Structure 1
Amino acid sequence: MDFEERLAALAAKVKNQRAVIQTEEATKNAFIMPFISTILGYDVFNPLEVVPEFTADVGVKRGEKIDYAIMRDGEVQILIECKSSTSALSLEHASQLFRYFAVTNARIAVLTNGAVYNFYTDLDAPNRMDEKPFLVLDLADIDETLIPELLKLTKEVFDLDSIISAAEELKYVGALKREIAAQFREPSADWVKFFTTRVYEGAFTQKVREQFSSLVTKAAKQYLNEQVNDRLKTALGAAAAVPAPLSAGSAESITSQPVAEADLDRDTEIETTPEELEGYQIVKAIACGDVKPQRVTYRDAKSYFAVLLDDNNRRPVARLWFNGKKQKYLGTFDDAKVETKHAIETLDDIYEHADIIRATVRSYA
């Protein structure tokens, strides 16, 4: 497996097992040691590379231990402090990291609960660990833009200078993205006021704030949906504009009369509409959280448009019943492959059934 596949595999393991992993030691064994081994590439059984229960006495603090120290050429490079997968990470959990960071040569510190990995360095003051991470890896929602930076931390291509030079931008861009996401989920009073005063000329009273709180949230969600749909339309347009190359043999067969007549008969019975293709792209985008995009295909039929896994009729992902003149339906499947039709008004309504679609794909994968 390549790096991204290993990362996805570990993310799936965390998702499937996190509910039953209750202790810190279980978290280390199930999630964190595999992260050190399969993602960062270090041998957890080689004390020259990974030292568990690393001890470095600090002032009057004697015998304190950090969970793991990753070594390179006999020097500590990365310190890792672990918490139970049931714990939410906070600076209160990082007191030992702060102390050890100051007395070792480590420039990278990691605080993790096996699902979320907070990476710290010393941007604010030399040899003093920052209070805010420069990189946050959440295995439940992997930010693909961080993968190249994570690669720099692996044993094979470890590049400390490159990591540190990029850390400041990563730190603030990541923090801004998380803050924007939080504001989209639940806008603060300042966020609501910021936009309201740009579109509303009256006084920003309590009543106005209450009115625009819901409007700002609604507008933000609609804007995001429109951006997604615009990208899908652009992708569909590009796909339609590029004809598939034909070999000499296939060109000859297409010009033959029997094939042309068969194509004509087929095309008069089945019409693949842009709306069906757009719906397919939405289903495909949902499914791609669990499988590679090329595995999600489609076949159009007279009465419905089928989305399949691996172009296999025995692996239906969803069906689009768009041929009716009035009501449109999305067909989803349970574990027994029994179809349930859901009435939808717009293509955006497909996202409301994303969990069912992902569960169906996972059952095949």
Structure 2
Amino acid sequence: FFIFNILDFQDHQITELKKFTKAAFSLDDILTTASTLKYTGAIKKVLDDELTNPSEAFVRFFAAKIFDGRLTKPVVEQFTPIVKEARKQFINERINERLTSALSAEDPQDVEVIQGEVAGDTNSQEKSGIITTEEEIEGFHVVKAILRQIVDVSRITMRDTKSYCGILLDDNNRKPICRLHFNHSQKYLGVFSQKTEERIAIDSVDDLYKYSEQMKNAVKDYEKE
């Protein structure tokens, strides 16, 4: 009913783990926790399935709240892609809210330094032929938001080149976290495993969140060195 991965865990799991220590151990509490975690996990699984591929009952639940007519099968089929799109927008908006909140909590002086490092001098950019775009800057902040749980964000740096925008740990070329290939109409994210890059086609900067684990694993690998 409870699995704790020491290499990949969340804060709330630490709270549950503390219940198993000698000082805090209580059989009644453990049994209650077991029951709660069992059903919590099951509900999360149902939610994941419904959010990925909404069932007819799930679609009907939302459609009934906003549609005054009869929910015939064609109407439900019409609402199915609408529910999917609403789910996608809702999650993206919540992610952006958390990102904005996380960035606003940073030291303003640090933000100014980062902006200076990222934006640089316009003339020097023009001379070098390297232009750091708004999407690259946004992507840099997204990566920082993803990794702030496991590493001091001051160690995450951005180094732009003509062909890609690299995001590094400790400003070290030997510690690439990811690469943003945003210079063409089709965007690609480069993620690293054993320092080997894998390019993944993405549609928007928000898609970076889908590959959070790959970025975290890259940082964890460097920390072991």
2:108 alignment counterpart: 242
1:347 aligns with 2:213: no
Deviation track 1:12-58 (CA, whole Å, cap 9, x = no partner) reads xxxxxxxxxxxxxxxxxxxxxxxxxxxxxxxxxxxxxxxxxxxxxxx
**Structure 1: segments with no counterpart, 5+ residues:** 1-117, 119-135, 245-262
Q: Is the radius of gyration larger for structure 1 or structure 2?
A: 1
8 Å contact from structure 2 (residues 140, 158) kept in 1:
no
1:315 alignment counterpart: 175
Measure, in 2, the Cα distance between the counterparts of 1:146 and 1:338: 31
Q: Which has the higher contact order (CA 8 A, sep 6+)?
A: 2
2:95 alignment counterpart: 228
Deviation track 1:127-175 (CA, whole Å, cap 9, x = no partner) reads xxxxxxxxx4474985532421321122243245655677776666555
8 Å contact from structure 1 (residues 329, 341) kept in 2:
no
CA-CA distance at 1:284 after TM superposition: 4.4
8 Å contact from structure 2 (residues 159, 166) kept in 1:
yes
Give the direction of change, closer, same or farther, for the CA distance of 1:302–1:158 in structure 2 (3 Å limit): same
Measure, in 1, the Cα distance between the counterparts of 2:28 and 2:196: 55
Equivalent runs, 1:1-365 vs 2, <5 Å: 118=1, 136-137=2-3, 139=5, 142=9, 144-160=11-27, 176-239=43-106, 242-243=108-109, 266-268=120-122, 269=124, 275-284=135-144, 292-294=150-152, 297-301=156-160, 303=162, 304-322=164-182, 324=183, 327=185, 329-332=187-190, 337=195, 344-351=202-209, 357=215, 360-361=218-219, 364=222, 365=224
Number of aligned residues: 206
Give the direction of change, closer, same or farther, for the CA distance of 1:207–1:328 in structure 2 (3 Å limit): closer
Deviation track 1:299-346 (CA, whole Å, cap 9, x = no partner) reads 343645321134322111212345x5x637445255685656656442
TM-score normalised over the length of structure 1: 0.44
Q: Quote the sequence identity (%).
A: 36
8 Å contact from structure 2 (residues 178, 192) kept in 1:
no
SS in 1 for 2:109: coil
Question: What is the one-letter code of the residue matched to 1:267?
Answer: D
Measure, in 1, the Cα distance between the counterparts of 2:196 and 2:48: 37
Question: What is the one-letter code of the residue matched to 1:314?
Answer: R
Give the direction of change, closer, same or farther, for the CA distance of 1:317–1:161 in structure 2 (3 Å limit): same
CA-CA distance at 1:278 after TM superposition: 3.0
Higher-strand-fraction structure:
1
Measure, in 1, the Cα distance between the counterparts of 2:74 and 2:86: 19
CA-CA distance at 1:359 after TM superposition: 6.1
CA-CA distance at 1:194 after TM superposition: 0.9
8 Å contact from structure 1 (residues 308, 315) kept in 2:
yes
Give the direction of change, closer, same or farther, for the CA distance of 1:206–1:183 in structure 2 (3 Å limit): same
SS in 2 for 1:313: coil
Question: What is the one-letter code of the residue matched to 2:121?
Answer: D
CA-CA distance at 1:205 after TM superposition: 0.8
Give the direction of change, closer, same or farther, for the CA distance of 1:213–1:344 in structure 2 (3 Å limit): closer
8 Å contact from structure 1 (residues 297, 310) kept in 2:
yes
8 Å contact from structure 2 (residues 177, 192) kept in 1:
no
Cα root mean square deviation, aligned: 4.0
CA-CA distance at 1:281 after TM superposition: 3.8
